[in-house]
Structure 1
Amino acid sequence: MPNTPRNAPAEVRAVVAEIRPEATGVVSVRLEPAAGDKMPAWEPGAHIDLVLGPDLERQYSLCGDPTDLRSWRIGVLREPASRGGSAHVHEKLVVGDEVLCRGPRNNFALDAAEEYLFIAGGIGITPILPMIRACAAERKPWRLVYGGRTEASMAFRTELDAHGDLVTVWPQDEKGLLDLGGLLATPSPGTQIYCCGPGALLDAVEERCATWPVGALHLERFRPKDGALDGENSTFEVVLDHSDISITVTADQTVAEAIEAAGVDVPTSCREGTCGTCETVVLEGDPDHRDSFLTAQEKASNEVMMVCCSRSHSDRLVLDL
């Protein structure tokens, strides 16, 4: 891994051009530039931070056509236990509203491969859509298995149906859970697996891919892994090497909160270790990784950490800030 963080998103002012129902509880939102005639370019797997109001910022995958620089599209599920983001989009956002976007950032990029297996659950279909588009355009072998609670809840079906038998639709109320055992039983050299959806699905896919080649599986999480944020909180020292500041992180603070209190800006978004915005280079020390973003190999290297949630096993951390 290069010794540089993957954050530093741009800010884009956008106007809501269209809000369209895509399935039960799912709408797509098309965003156009508030000034100028183009949106920033992006590649499949990218997401943006959508700032909906003070202290209301959420991450959404871009799910439109990367070659269309006139607009962006996101898909938003109405969460029953919404923390405010999806409720705002479904209940308050209207065509003509201006919103601030940060990004795009891509932590789920489509790597080169001989063929692709896409596994999506529910709203996890959103980052997969432009990946499928890219594979189809480049005539790369691919297939998609798409699970959902019910057929009516599964979004973007018209787009997917156009791909015929390359797409397997699997409504849980009719067919039960996805047959991951059969799907992933035999490792296939040259195949890259991309999976996005609920945590239970990601955990199950990750478990069944333990025998696949290292690097074959790519996951994107919307929520932290169960237990990821747990652990004993102790006090430790953080040295900001670039700023020449030493601060104490107390047991009731995150590293990001302590850095901000010291007057140093650090980009954050999800504040729970899933989006990668706050990835920071570690120069010295032993981080206590509590994020759900870095791979096991990346965590073992201790080259970077997510300061929004991770802490320290050592008494002292030196960060490149």
Structure 2
Amino acid sequence: MGLDLVVKVVRKRVEAEGIVLLDLEGDGAALPAFTAGAHIDVKTPSGAVRQYSLCGPPGQPGPYQIAVLREASGRGGSASMHDALAEGDRLAVSAPRNHFALSEAPGASLLFAAGIGITPLVAMAEALHAQGREFTLHYCARSEARTAFLHRLRERPYAGRVRFHFDGGEASRQLDIAAALAAAPDGAQVYVCGPQPFIAAVRDGAARAGWPAARVHFEHFSGLAADTSGDGSFDVVLSRSGRTVRIAPDVSITQALAAEGVAIDTSCEQGVCGTCLIRVLEGEVDHRDLYLTPEEQASHTQMLPCCSRAASARLVLDL
């Protein structure tokens, strides 16, 4: 599918820390309708093409809405959407396509989102509410300040169906995936979007609870879901002992170190909670977490070893 549509940025505003919300109108023509879970391809000002889920109410007139998280470890696409794009500018985009559509099967829906993975699921919540269908939305984020659509979700008529899970402090409400799955009505459908470790945790939890795979739907949100096909080995040096541990492509740093008798405290193992945060003394990190801010990621001075890897040949850690 080509970038056959031209849209105009009619509104750009900060939605949450590190996230901008863009309203896009057709440049002289009505935009094609879309269904919940759909996304569009966007040619960013940097020239890179990126995919963004449509997060406005499906089936209603009005502009497309997309939310863009600034990716400190990306290749400039998201940064250009933040820094080089202004109201009145035009973008080339594709028509909507949907590989993450709501099932037409009757019954309840259980929605799981982490970080910017909320974007397709907020559209699903709107669609399910409009259809009078039962659902619960669980939304994980580091803090209220970094939670996209926080106020929108709290003000919608279905606000009582939304469960926020923030990390740390007195407001901490960590998500218990097993309990959320166990509370779902029989025959419910599961939808999950976020970083790869979060998706894996929900899918694994559903499998352990006996959910049929056909009722567990997931999407690796562009820019968050790590492509592991190119993962290679690298070395981790433990600065306090001088030991070097080789990290295989299919093993996390925490797993590899645990096998060598070096235990790191972990909790969510999804890059959300920050329990395993450690200092990086040398090397570049391939950040795959939702905990560190873009600025913190760009400094390469700390990492979450439960999910992040090395972008350099070795990392020296304060262990």
Q: Say yes or no: TM over 0.5.
A: yes
Deviation at 1:225, TM superposition (A): 5.3
Taking a change above 3 Å as real, the CA distance of residues 83 and 225 of structure 1, as seen in their structure-2 partners, is closer
Q: Distance in 2 between matches of 1:144 and 1:184?
A: 12
Return the letter of the residue paired with 1:169: F
Aligned-pair CA distance for 1:227: 3.5
Match of 1:144 in 2: 137
Report if aligned partners of 1:9, 1:104 keep a CA contact under 8 Å in 2: no
Aligned-pair distance for 1:204?
A: 0.5
Structure 2 residue aligned with 1:41, among 27, 33, 36? 33
Query: For the aligned residues, what is the CA RMSD?
Result: 2.0
Whether 1:169 and 2:164 are equivalent positions in the alignment is: yes
Q: 1:173-225 CA distances to partner (integer Å, 9 max, x unpaired)?
A: 24264211222247753201111111111010111111202311111102555
Q: Calculate the TM-score normalised by the size of structure 2.
A: 0.65
Residue in 2 that maps onto 1:220: 219
Q: Is the 8 A contact 1:75 1:126 kept in 2?
A: yes
Q: TM-score, normalised by structure 1?
A: 0.65
Please state whether the residue corresponding to 1:117 is helix, strand or coil: strand
Of 171, 189, 194, 1:192 maps to 189
1:237 aligns to what?
A: none
CA spacing shift, 1:18–1:205, aligned 2, 3 Å: same
CA deviations on 1:18-76 (whole Å, 9 max, x unpaired) are: 0011111111100011122x111110000000002464110000001223333100011
Say if 2:117 is the partner of 1:120: no
Matched pairs, number = 223
Structure 1 residues 215 and 122: CA distance shift in structure 2, 3 A:
same
State how far apart, in whole Å, the 1-side matches of 2:12 and 2:82 are: 9
Q: Which residue of 2 aligns with 1:25?
A: 18
Change (3 A) 1:176 1:157: closer
**What amino acid maps onto 1:199 in structure 2?**
Q
Q: In structure 2, give the amino acid aligned to 1:207.
A: D
Matches within 5 A, 1:55-94: 55-94=47-86
Whole-Å separation in 2 of the counterparts to 1:23 and 1:99: 23
**Contact 2:112–2:138 under 8 Å retained in 1:** yes
User: How far apart are the structure 2 equivalents of 1:79 and 1:225?
Assistant: 12
Aligned with 2:101 (options 95, 104, 109): 109
Q: Deviations over 1:110-135 (max 9, x none)?
A: 11231111111011111011111111
Deviations 1:233-290 (A, max 9, x none): xxxxxxxxxxxxxxxxxxxxxxxxxxxxxxxxxxxxxxxxxxxxxxxxxxxxxxxxxx
Whether 1:178 aligns to 2:175 is: yes
Displaced runs of 4+ in structure 1, greater than 4 A?
185-188, 223-226
Kept in 1: contact 2:53–2:120 (CA 8 A):
yes
In 2, the alpha carbon distance for the partners of 1:190 and 1:146 equals: 22
Q: By how many angstroms is 1:139 displaced? A: 0.9
Label 1:41 to 1:9 Cα distance change in 2 as closer, same or farther (>3 A): farther
